[in-house]
Amino acid sequence: MTILQAKQAQKSGANHSVADSHTDDGFSDLHPAYSTLQAMAESNRCLYCYDAPCVTACPTSIDIPSFIRKISTANPDGAAKTILSANIMGGTCARACPTEVLCEEACVRNVAEDTAVEIGSLQRFAVDHLMARDLPHPFKRAPETGKQIAIIGAGPAGLSCAHRAAMLGHDVTVFEAKAKPGGLNEYGLAAYKMTDDFAQREVEFLLGIGGIRIEYGKALGRDINLQALKDSYDAVFVGVGLGSTNNLGLKGEEFPGVDDAIKFIEQLRQTEPKSDMPVGNNVIVIGGGNTAIDAAVQAKRLGAGEVTLVYRRGPENMSATEFEQDLAKTNGVVVRYWAKPVAIKANGKLMGMSFEKTELDASGKLVGTGETFDVPADQILKAIGQKIKPDDLAGMEITGGKIIVDDTYQTTAPGVFAGGDCIKSGEDLTVQSVEDGKQAAIAIDAFLKTTSA
């Protein structure tokens, strides 16, 4: 742990230890923003590597050494432009990226010193600095092409695509099912990662490029359909994410108190003050990803007495990063590994859940041991994965629960492109979705030049 990290841990510990304090509701910044002094000190730890490993590790290939150097020379707005030119949602990624398995894992400072440069915090410092100033949008649009692009979904992929397409001179209409833009940035990330309405502020900033119109309350399959969009627009981008969740397949799953973790987080994100959000006294969270951790930690911070996170395999198998797992433990979440849910227990009201212990058999297959235990609960949150809603995606081939795209992000439907969580491009991360959207916009631009030639 660097001194800076230690200081922050101290700070955040002080902030979060008393969830019901008058000054803090437990949902202030997980990583407090850097002061100018912290940014100066940490930026000077960067060695300004050539062909840097951190850049390779970033899905959006942000020129990290260049932006950090600009911070160190007192040019934070220039740093922000370097970041945003590669990743228009650099502000969200600075807050939500699992940097410990991306850029910071690749940092050469790990090799000899075991402590990476805190790239995420520096990125946030730069982007926040620029966004806090009332400056014109930092990017210019190319001359208008007269081409119309429809984008389905105002999440990270859709908005990233919209911004890049607008920069390339196209006119963009975004169709969004919900009432607000931002997708999972607005509805899915933990509240303590996205304080001060950042998702909305970022979208407002992004729209500053011009040439982008968003229509809210327009869901694919309900209010709009792919064929009609194909007919009316020169190209279509599908960035619908994963609209459906996996079920446990247990009796009683529809019982009140049994919810999807993603819906719990969505409701929490839209509740102000956070203390108005209802939470159980004994909460069980099922799953091993970052959504499970986000739900468990936030349930605890809302005041749940006991939060038990149950995962069917061991800690090394969790898709949640080590940092996230530690976060759950330091927030008082009880984590139980090697157990799977076998029954929901209810008696007029939700009582709890039965689990069977699991292990790997000789062939490495996960099996139940026959030994069971019960955990009382008045709320159960399922975080066992999301999946695509195939009904609305007629005309595009889907395999393994993901839309098939070629190297240029084009689906099997000509002129229809896709990106983000609904395609198989890598981890289900904001930063990957932003990259998908950006690259798809560049591909669409090339496609439009070919078709109009």
Partner 1 sequence: MADLSCKIAGIDSLNPFWLASAPPTDKKYNVVRAFEAGWGGVVWKTLGIDPPVINVSSRYGAHHDQNRRLLGINNIELISDRPLAVNLQEIRECRKEYPDHVIIGSMMAPIEERVWKDLAQQIAESGVHGIELNLGCPHGMCERGMGSAIGQVPEMVEQVTRWVKDAVDIPVFTKLTPNITNILWSAEAAYKGGADAVSLINTVNSIISVDIDNMIPEPVVDGKGTHGGYCGSAVKPIALNMIAEIARTPETKNLEISGIGGITTWKDAVEFMALGSNAVQVCTAAMIYGFRVVDDLIDGMSQWMDDKGYTSVEQFTRAAVPQVADWNELNMNYDTKAVINTDNCIECGRCHIACEDTSHQAITMTDKPEGGRVFEVVDEECVGCNLCYHICPVPDCITMEPVKTDKPPMTWPEHPLNPMRAAAE
Would you tell me how many other CB atoms lie within 10 Å of the CB of residue 96?
25
Task: Report, in Å, the least distance between residue 59 CB and partner 1.
Answer: 17
Tell me the CA distances in angstroms from 201 to 128, 140, 151, 197, one per residue in order. Answer: 11, 20, 20, 6
Q: Long-range contacts for 354-357 (Cβ within 8 Å, ≥24 apart)?
A: 355/310
Nearer to partner 1, 55 or 422 (CB): 55
Nearer to partner 1, 45 or 163 (CB): 45
Task: Report, in Å, the least distance between residue 73 CB and partner 1.
Answer: 6
Nearer to partner 1, 44 or 247 (CB): 44
Instruction: State the Cα–Cα distance between residues 46 and 64, nearest whole angstrom.
Output: 9
Nearer to partner 1, 73 or 372 (CB): 73
Instruction: State the Cα–Cα distance between residues 55 and 326, nearest whole angstrom.
Output: 26
Tell me the CA distances in angstroms from 430 to 59, 98, 183, 358, 413, one per residue in order. Answer: 10, 10, 10, 32, 25
Task: Report, in Å, the least distance between residue 58 CB and partner 1.
Answer: 15
Helix/strand/coil for 224? strand
Nearer to partner 1, 108 or 442 (CB): 108
Element (H, E) at 163: helix 156-167
Nearer to partner 1, 100 or 105 (CB): 105
Q: Do 322 and 298 form a contact (C-beta atoms < 8 A)? A: no
Residues linked to residue 345 through DSSP beta bridges, in sequence order: 352
Task: Report, in Å, the least distance between residue 321 CB and partner 1.
Answer: 20
Judged by the rule CB under 8 A, the positions of this chain that interact with partner 1 are 40-41, 43-44, 47-53, 72-73, 108-109, 111-112
Angle at 197 between CA 196 and CA 202, to 5 degrees: 115
Task: Report, in Å, the least distance between residue 112 CB and partner 1.
Answer: 5
Nearer to partner 1, 3 or 47 (CB): 47
Q: Do 423 and 402 form a contact (C-beta atoms < 8 A)? A: yes
Nearer to partner 1, 108 or 334 (CB): 108
Instruction: State the Cα–Cα distance between residues 183 and 202, nearest whole angstrom.
Output: 12
Task: Report, in Å, the least distance between residue 427 CB and partner 1.
Answer: 18
Task: Report, in Å, the least distance between residue 44 CB and partner 1.
Answer: 4
Q: By C-alpha distance, which of 229, 207, 232, 233 is closest to 220?
A: 229
Task: Report, in Å, the least distance between residue 47 CB and partner 1.
Answer: 5
Cis amide leading into 273 (omega within 30): yes
Instruction: State the Cα–Cα distance between residues 452 and 234, nearest whole angstrom.
Output: 10
Q: Which residue has the tokens 């208008």?
A: 144
Q: Please, what's the b/e burial string for 411-436 (b: 16 or more CB within 10 A of its CB; e: otherwise)? A: bebebbbbbbbbbebeebbbbbbbbb
Instruction: State the Cα–Cα distance between residues 374 and 380, nearest whole angstrom.
Output: 13
Nearer to partner 1, 53 or 252 (CB): 53
Residues linked to residue 368 through DSSP beta bridges, in sequence order: 358
Task: Report, in Å, the least distance between residue 41 CB and partner 1.
Answer: 7
Q: By C-alpha distance, which of 376, 377, 337, 375 is closest to 357?
A: 337
Nearer to partner 1, 78 or 420 (CB): 78
Helix/strand/coil for 208? coil
Task: Report, in Å, the least distance between residue 406 CB and partner 1.
Answer: 26
User: How many helices (H) and strands (E) are present in the chain, helices listed first?
Assistant: 17, 17
Q: What is the largest CA-CA distance in the chain?
A: 68
Would you tell me how many other CB atoms lie within 10 Å of the CB of residue 225?
14
Nearer to partner 1, 82 or 185 (CB): 82
Task: Report, in Å, the least distance between residue 286 CB and partner 1.
Answer: 35
Nearer to partner 1, 73 or 408 (CB): 73
